[in-house]
Amino acid sequence: MSSCRRFPGIVALLAMSLALLLVVAACGGDDGDSGSTATTTTTTTSTTTSGAAAAPTAAPAETTSTTGSGDTMAQPADDAMMMKPVVDRLIFATTEPSTEHSDQRVLCCFNALQLRPMYENLLAVNPAGEFVPGLATSWALEPDGQSMRIELREGVEFHNGNGEFTADDVINFFDQFVTFEDAHVFSRIFWRAFTESVEKVDDHEIVFRMKNPNSFLSLALSDRWTQLPVVSKADWDANGAPETPESTPLAGTGPYQFVDRTQGQFILFENAPGEHWRAEPDFPELELRWVSEVSTRLSALLAGEVHMADIPPDLHGQATSQGFEIKSNSNFGTRVWMQFYAAFPDPETGVDGWPLYPDAKLLDVRVRKALNKAINRPEVMGAFAPHGELMILNHFHPQFTGWNPEWQHRFFEEYGYDPAAARSLLREAGYDTNNPLQIKTRIRSCVVMAGCEDVTEAIAGYWQDVGVDVELITIDGASRNALSRATRQGTAGVGEGIVDWVDVDNSSTHPVFALANRQTWHATGGVNGFATPEMYEIVGRIQGEMDWSKHEADIRAVGELSFNLHANVPLWYLPAQVAVDPNIIDEYVWNGTEHGTFTYLEEIVAVKQ
């Protein structure tokens, strides 16, 4: 197969010396001690995080920190801090959100970035990926194993004179969120499905009562998901919910407060007056400028019109050659993989009616293994993710609970590039030149990785090389969602819905948390890939136990099944990166695995003068 067909984006670059490719379109895909008397643990400064530490069910003790991310009060300013930044307004050029709005209830995933600087969550996330106190100073499971008692931070003021943060603010936003029909999907698949109520004990203590135990609660209350950011009830009562994208957002407690926005162009914040409990921004103003074209973002950076820009790795060289620097997130990178659509449960009987489409070709493990072994991962990574980390198994990483080092040793045998073995497996499954395997793959853009379209075409080329008949699909999001709904509901036959599709996907969500999202398993026929009833059963146990310290064996067990059954096509972890002007920005340390990706912008360290 020619390199022109396999890597069309790279050939375009060679043919057009300074042509800038790849449009990043905004789209979506993607661990403590229980009991009310649980012993409080102390936060460490470890740079790696076990699964149990990543989502504590009891809060760590607050410690002094200079890295920020929500675990201490702001420290007194020294002489250096009294110096002024080179510019007053920090401008960050990034891709336009797929949904713009001033009502936090409709914003999820990457779209959450637009209001993050002004809102805070109950649990924060430090650069090592650990949960630390945010607007909650402590949290612990109740004796029933399915409720969580939370102590709230005192003395935190809302913007614009809207008073002090109390339990009433949390309860009001929760009630408004779960009853709002136009709220984003998590209101339905998590909050309405699993949360009974939020009970007020006093002004600074609440209890989340769950209908059933659900291990996602700490995640959902944290900066990772930013599902229940703290919004002022007083502002809500006075002004009601924002009705349009250009309405004024309701008051939050973040280091920045809202100033202005124009849909499709920018949103502007300013430093909230008074001493903030957590972080004092170096830059008096912060502008998020929406620029969809990566070439335009790069040009604006080079011209000094913006001070940091989200650009893909293939353009980094042009930025660094002009003296700009590339900053990477502090934790693992964005997960990039391809998922098999085949193993859907019955919409009425669940896994008892599995598989909903017994004739699906991708139900055959020989087919899934052949598709994996047909891909030359080093070649694809060299072209599209030269700074990426090879993914051994989606949802698993050596730094997280449940990792089995044997998977890395066995990877080449199971997944390594071997086109002859791929052809042999396809023949064993009954496919040959007279009866080729027929699958579909969607040409799509991704939010947190540029070049998804070219990655898809390149991998389709490898599959075609071993005799697979691959149909490349271009379809708009609404039509794709309609096909997905019909498939899940059992009203689309094989070849009519998304059965036997293999799509590239990406997600910055914590991989182990995503693994345990049983609702997503039902929506996709296995979380981001293939799944069996046994895997559903194990994941159900994980989701139903809120003490993450008890999940090691089950997480490893579902990982072993996923690895052996080729549940998906693992590709790589890609670090979240941003190009910055070193004359303006001294340092930016952020976790990079939360919804919105580029978080804690208020903690960017300015060059002072």
One domain, residues 180 and 277: yes
Question: What is the Cα–Cα distance from 95 to 24, expressed in whole angstroms?
Answer: 7
Question: What is the Cα–Cα distance from 187 to 602, expressed in whole angstroms?
Answer: 28
| Model pLDDT for residues 241-283, shown as the tens digit of each residue | 999 999 999 999 999 999 999 999 999 999 999 999 999 999 9
Residue 287, pLDDT above cutoff 60: yes
Evaluate whether 38 touches 58 at the Cβ level (below 8 Å): yes
DSSP letter (8 states) at residue 308: E
What is the pTM (predicted TM-score) of this model? Answer: 0.76
Residue 40, in any domain of the structure = no
One domain, residues 227 and 286: yes
Question: What is the Cα–Cα distance from 429 to 364, expressed in whole angstroms?
Answer: 8
Residue 33, in any domain of the structure = no
One domain, residues 387 and 476: yes
Tokens describing residue 277: 């409990």
Alpha-carbon 247 to chain mean position: 27
One domain, residues 242 and 277: yes
Residue 31, in any domain of the structure = no
Residue 307's pLDDT band (boundaries 50, 70, 90)? very high
Range of the domain at 325: 48-331+576-606
For 549, residues 6+ apart whose C-beta sits below 8 A from its C-beta are 31, 32, 33, 52, 57
> Which is more confident, 25 or 542?
542
Residue 487 identity (one-letter amino acid): T
Confidence (pLDDT) at 13: 34
> Which helix (DSSP H) or strand (DSSP E) does residue 452 occupy?
helix 452-465
Angle at 551 between CA 546 and CA 555, to 5 degrees: 125
Mean pLDDT of 338-344: 91
Residue 3 identity (one-letter amino acid): S
**Residue 369 bridge partners (DSSP):** none
Going by their DSSP bridges, the two strands 205-210 and 147-152 should be labelled as antiparallel
Place of tokens 């019955």: 346
One domain, residues 321 and 454: no
Residue 286, in any domain of the structure = yes
Mean pLDDT of 425-441: 97
Q: Which of 183-187, 199-203, 593-597 has the lowest mean pLDDT?
A: 593-597
One domain, residues 311 and 197: yes
Residue 66, pLDDT above cutoff 80: no
Question: What is the Cα–Cα distance from 87 to 606, expressed in whole angstroms?
Answer: 9
> Which is more confident, 48 or 91?
91
> Which helix (DSSP H) or strand (DSSP E) does residue 42 occupy?
strand 41-42
CATH of the domain at 486: 3.10.105.10
Alpha-carbon 5 to chain mean position: 31
Mean pLDDT of the chain: 84
Long-range contacts of the stretch 255-260 (C-beta < 8 A, 24+) = 255/117, 255/279, 255/280, 255/281, 255/602, 256/117, 256/118, 256/281, 256/286, 256/601, 256/602, 257/118, 257/159, 257/160, 258/115, 258/118, 258/159, 259/285
Alpha-carbon 307 to chain mean position: 24
CA max distance for the chain: 77
Residue 490, in any domain of the structure = yes
Residue 336, pLDDT above cutoff 60: yes
Tokens describing residue 351: 């896994």
State how many domains the chain has: 2
| Model pLDDT for residues 108-138, shown as the tens digit of each residue | 878 889 999 999 999 998 877 788 999 999 9
Residue 220, in any domain of the structure = yes
Tokens describing residue 59: 């809060």
One domain, residues 300 and 345: no
Confidence (pLDDT) at 33: 30
| Model pLDDT for residues 562-584, shown as the tens digit of each residue | 999 999 999 998 888 899 999 99
Mean pLDDT of 346-364: 91
Q: Which of 121-130, 172-181, 298-307, 521-530 has the lowest mean pLDDT?
A: 521-530
Q: Which of 65-79, 370-384, 395-409, 446-460 is modeled with the greatest confidence?
A: 370-384
One domain, residues 250 and 352: no
Residue 37, in any domain of the structure = no
Long-range contacts of the stretch 37-42 (C-beta < 8 A, 24+) = 37/140, 38/140, 38/141, 40/138
One domain, residues 235 and 339: no
Question: What is the Cα–Cα distance from 166 to 232, expressed in whole angstroms?
Answer: 9
Residue 3, pLDDT above cutoff 50: no
One domain, residues 312 and 387: no
The closest of 14, 290, 242, 302 to 106, measured between CA atoms, is: 242
One domain, residues 145 and 284: yes
The closest of 602, 572, 302 to 446, measured between CA atoms, is: 572
Confidence (pLDDT) at 279: 94
For 134, residues 6+ apart whose C-beta sits below 8 A from its C-beta are 70, 120, 121, 122, 123, 124, 153, 222, 223
One domain, residues 145 and 292: yes
> Which helix (DSSP H) or strand (DSSP E) does residue 200 occupy?
strand 195-202
DSSP letter (8 states) at residue 187: I
Residue 209, pLDDT above cutoff 70: yes
ω into 355 cis (within 30 of 0) = yes
- Per-position DSSP letters for 63-122, written without gaps between them: ---SS-SSSSPPPPP-HHHHSPBS-SEEEEEEPPPSS--S-GGG--GGGGGGGGGG---S
Mean pLDDT of 430-443: 96
Question: What is the Cα–Cα distance from 316 to 302, expressed in whole angstroms?
Answer: 12
| Model pLDDT for residues 471-515, shown as the tens digit of each residue | 999 998 788 888 988 998 888 876 788 999 999 887 766 666 666
Mean pLDDT of 305-333: 91
Phi-psi region of 237 (alpha: psi -120 to 50; beta: other; left: phi over 0): alpha
CATH of the domain at 138: 3.40.190.10
Residue 105, in any domain of the structure = yes
Evaluate whether 260 touches 268 at the Cβ level (below 8 Å): yes
Evaluate whether 279 touches 253 at the Cβ level (below 8 Å): no
Tokens describing residue 586: 């001294």
